[in-house]
Amino acid sequence: MEFVQDAEPDVKKPIIIAAMQDMGSVGSIVIDFINESLKTKKFRVAKTSSPTYVVDMGGHIEIPEERWEYRYAEDLIVFGGGRGQPQSNSELNAICQDVIDISKKYSAKLIYTAGGFHTNRIIGRNPKTYVTTTSQKLTRQMEELSMDITPQKSMITGFNGLILGFAKKNDIQGIGMYGELNEPEIPQYRSAISIIKTIEKLTYMKLGCIEQLEIMAQEIEQRFKS
């Protein structure tokens, strides 16, 4: 991994929201929405020199440039989104550690992450967001706020789980929010909407109008219904 710092963000003890593309593209939908809605500014980039695929342009291939951006707004740093995740453990660990290093550098006290929660329950148009945290004390606080806690023991793979482990090892509080979904291969806009509403409730921040996400959700539903 290569990390390039372009600027110094003007933030004071920000919260961190960090997530990458995962099943249902939930993590990347959330991150991309926040960046667009809040007009965040790029200040750092993580790049991989070892892409895991090529793109067939129709008769010839192109090698993709895989990169993930750090962006900021007032009292907020946003990381990730985009396409895919690092596929090697070494790169995944490097990128998690870099998020931790940035969190420490700017005195962040809390890291949020987001992703999908695959369930057999038919969720319709109102998926739940399940929450897990880096400590039992923080989980009790979530319960007091009437959050839905992840219902059973399970493994959370990829960046959107591992970043919580890195936060815990570095004494940074972390909250993972995972939106229910039935079809992991289809973009899950309603799951992302549920997570965005959860973030707003927990942070007292307004992240933006979700109307466009609602439209995208309806388009996906119509497409796969027909």
Extended beta strands in the chain, E state = 2-5, 15-20, 41-47, 55-56, 61-62, 67-73, 76-81, 110-118, 129-133, 148-149, 173-181
Distance, CA of 208 to CA of 50 (rounded, Å): 35
Residues 139-158: tens digit of each pLDDT: 999 999 999 999 988 889 89
Name which of 57-71, 95-109, 158-172 the model is least confident about: 57-71
What whole-number percentage of the chain has pLDDT above 70? 99
Residues 138-165: b if buried by 16+ CB within 10 A, e if exposed: bbeebeeeebbebeeeeebebbbbbbbe
* pTM, two decimal places: 0.92
Tell me the domains of the chain and their CATH numbers.
2-225 (3.40.50.10900)
- With cut-offs at 50, 70 and 90, classify the pLDDT of residue 226: low
What does pLDDT average to over the chain?
93
pLDDT attached to residue 40: 97
Phi-psi sector, 146: left (phi>0), alpha (psi -120 to 50), beta: left
